[in-house]
Amino acid sequence: MANQNLSMNPDYSNKATNQQIRERFDKDTERFSNLETGQQTTIDAPLTMELCTEAAKYATPHATELLDIGCGAGNYTLKMLSKIPGLNCVLNDLSMPMLQKAKERVSPKTKGTVTLIQDDMRNLDLPEGHFDIILAAATLHHLRDDGDWELMFAKLYRALKPGGSFWVSDLITHHSELVTRLFEDEYSRYLETLGGPEYRQKVLDYVHYEDTPRSLNFQLALLAKVGFTKIDVLHKHSCFAAFGAIK
């Protein structure tokens, strides 16, 4: 998890391609199909899922349209439907097995439509002013350079209705090398409690290979840059944070 500053655009040629990321997730569908343990490598995952979906409910209690980016097996959408039933759900992911599992789990929980989009999130062609709620859990860290991040945030801002909201739970980095090292060490210790040194190294290896997270400060500044004015941090613990904005 190398430190990423606002002005940095390093060489990402040694990072995993979308195909490589998709192939790993294709094989891991069942693990991600658990509301409690599907994101166990994320510190405070159940809490941040609760906070993001509760914030979305408070922002738009009468919402009808939901977009879940990088939806995986549908955990965030299921949690959202437990708070606001009947949503029309657009589910996006790179992995078709994930999308199929998400549809299987989500469809019985809503009377609304369930639409699947298998594609890189950067390619999404979203209707303007359409969604009440956009969720992005553990997915934005796959974006690479500054242009990717600004493209994505601007695209999602345009896709929201006035009063709609965008909520993120994700891996982050820090601007200070010392603070980055502090939280990387803390995260390593956390991973060891889940599965020992071998599990810790396995997770750190794929994080290093696949992920290019940005700092919380970078993302909050970018939310403001694309047009959001009501921006809030819901939770931060170590190298993970939950935050969002209302249009």
Q: Say if 3 falls within a structural domain.
A: no
Angle at 60 between CA 55 and CA 61, to 5 degrees: 95
- Could you read off the pLDDT tens digit of each residue along the chain, which spans 247 residues? 444 444 445 666 676 566 666 655 545 555 554 555 457 889 999 999 999 999 999 999 999 999 999 999 999 999 999 999 999 999 999 999 999 999 999 999 999 999 999 999 999 999 999 999 999 999 999 998 999 999 999 999 999 999 999 999 999 999 999 999 999 999 999 999 988 999 899 888 878 887 899 999 999 999 999 999 999 999 999 999 999 999 9
Q: What is the CATH number of the domain that holds 154?
A: 3.40.50.150
Contact 52, 82 (CB under 8 A): no
Q: What is the CB neighbour count within 10 angstroms for residue 157? A: 18
Q: Say if 88 falls within a structural domain.
A: yes
Q: What is the sign of the dihedral through the CA atoms of 47, 34, 245 and 18?
A: positive
For residue 223, what are the β-bridge partners?
A: none
Tokens standing for 200?
Answer: 């810790």
Domain that holds residue 118: 18-173+213-237
Q: Say if 185 falls within a structural domain.
A: no
Distance CA 93, CA 39 (A): 16
Total structural domains in the chain?
1
Say what the pTM is.
0.89
